[in-house]
Chains A and B, each alone.
Chain A
Amino acid sequence: MAKKQGIVHINHKRCKVCGICVKICPVQNYTISQNKLTELGKCIACLQCERYCPDMALIIDTKDDKKTPTR
């Protein structure tokens, strides 16, 4: 079974750099540099950050065509 991969869309207008996603990510996909959230392309589409983001700034797409669950 192929590894699930995700594409991260960060809405920088909404992001307030609270750092919840940086800590909650199981693969350390996010870093904060110069007061801006950046991602490193290691996303496994577990949707934890999308779920706990209080500013609704993150949207995660999975790379395969299967429909991703919304949350």
Chain B
Amino acid sequence: MTKELTYLNYLKQERLPHQWCPGCGNGIILKLSCLAMEKLNFPKKGTVMVSGIGCSGRSAGFFDLDSVHTAHGRALPVAEGIKLANEELNVMIISGDGDLFGIGGNHLLHASRRNTDITVICISNAIYGMTGGQCSPTTEISSKTLTTPRGNADTPVNVQAIVTAHNCFYARSTTFHFNHAMKCIFEALQHKGFSFVEIKSQCITNDGRRRGFKNSYEMLMSYKDNYKINNSSNKLEHNEIGIIK
């Protein structure tokens, strides 16, 4: 008899397989958020999923919950509005780095200032993946993309400083650190107030191949080599993952 994966009940299984590229990390994050919701026994009727535009914006459609696919960059104000209209709902956002920091950057600033009780899961793949691999606000310095063929000249945006400046929950993890990422989402969902989880994810099709990775497994393993877990400090360095409350 086949074991049943109960966390898949949060997904519309008839819509699987999803349309993301082979080896994309978005599927792992979809699974992670389902596992965290299952652990907390979130009811299907009282949970709302909001997403913006981009590869990751498609994820709201896969959840068997009430979900909104909003305009570009406007996932945060829509989620805040839903939460203010009915405070009993659990409101979650799954969106990408280009959507949250690039187009909706100003909304992130003010959402963290207002401190509404919503949870943001940011799939940070450091690229505008859907449009072909342009340089995004989180692209690391000297990284090759479509628009920066000689290496990115600018420093990436410091999201940690923006979110923690207003004493909000901030957590950073990667798709390789599966249990750590699940713990981050689990604690973010329990936290009262604005909570932000940034999960580094691999994009092999438009990002990794320009940077010299052969497959998505190599990108997963690069997270293992480059990131260290930090449990004690109140500030994370650029190569550390952890939780700041």
- B2 with A54: CB separation less than 8 A: no
For residue B65, CB closer than 8 A to chain A, the reply is no
**In contact, B2 and A70 (Cβ under 8 angstroms):** no
B17 touches A70 (CB 8 A): no
How many residues of chain A get a CB closer than 8 Å to chain B's CBs? 24
Contact of A13 among B3, B17, B18, B27 (CB under 8 A): B17
Partner of A18, one of B5, B22, B31: B22
Asked if A51 lies at the interface with its beta carbon under 8 angstroms from chain B, I say: yes
Cross-chain contact of A52 among B3, B7, B18, B28 (Cβ < 8 A): B28
A20 close to B23 (CB less than 8 A): yes
The digit string for A5-20, where 1 denotes a CB below 8 A from any CB of B, is: 0000100011111111
Residues of chain B within 8 A of A60, CB atoms compared: 3
A55 B178 Cβ-Cβ under 8 A: no
Is A23 part of the contact surface with B, judged by Cβ < 8 Å?
Answer: yes
Determine whether A28 belongs to the interface, using a CB cutoff of 8 Å to chain B: no
Query: B217 contacts which chain A residues (CB < 8 A)?
Result: 19-20, 23-24
Closest to A57 in B: B17
Establish whether residues A59 and B220, one from each chain, have CB atoms under 8 Å apart when the complex forms. no
Whether the pair B23, A51 counts as a contact (CB closer than 8 A) is no
Expressed in whole angstroms, the Cα–Cα distance for A21 and B20 within the complex equals: 17
Instruction: State the CA gap A14–B6 with chains docked (Å).
Output: 17
Given A13-B17, A54-B24: A18 touches B216 (CB 8 Å cut-off): yes
Q: Are A19 and B23 in contact (CB under 8 A)?
A: yes
User: Residue A20 contacts which of B6, B178, B220 (CB distance < 8 angstroms)?
Assistant: B220
Per-residue CB proximity of A55-71 to B under 8 Å, as 1/0? 11101110000001011
Q: For residue B16, give the distance in angstroms from its CB to the closest CB of chain A.
A: 6
In the bound complex, CA of A16 to CA of B17 (Å): 8
B145 part of interface (Cβ distance < 8 Å) = no
Q: Are A20 and B5 closer than 8 Å at their CB atoms?
A: no
Residues from chain B with a CB closer than 8 A to the CB of A23 are 215, 217
Q: A20-B217, A54-B26 are in contact. Are A9 and B2 (CB under 8 A)?
A: yes
Q: Which of B206-232 contact A (CB under 8 A)?
A: 215-217, 220
User: Closest CB-CB distance, A52 to chain B, in whole Å?
Assistant: 7
Minimum Cβ distance to chain B for residue A21 (Å) = 9
The answer to whether B159 has its CB under 8 Å from any CB of chain A is no
For residue B244, give the distance in angstroms from its CB to the closest CB of chain A. Answer: 26
Smallest CB separation, A8 vs chain B (Å): 11
From known contacts A20-B217, A56-B27, infer whether A61 and B2 are also in contact, taking CB-CB under 8 Å. yes
Cβ–Cβ contact B3 & A14, under 8 A: no
* Closest Cβ neighbor of B28 among chain A residues: A54
Residue B55 CB within 8 A of the other chain: no
Closest 5 CB pairs of A and B: A54-B27, A18-B23, A18-B22, A16-B22, A23-B217
Chain A contact residues, CB within 8 Å of chain B: 9, 13-20, 23-24, 51-57, 59-61, 68, 70-71
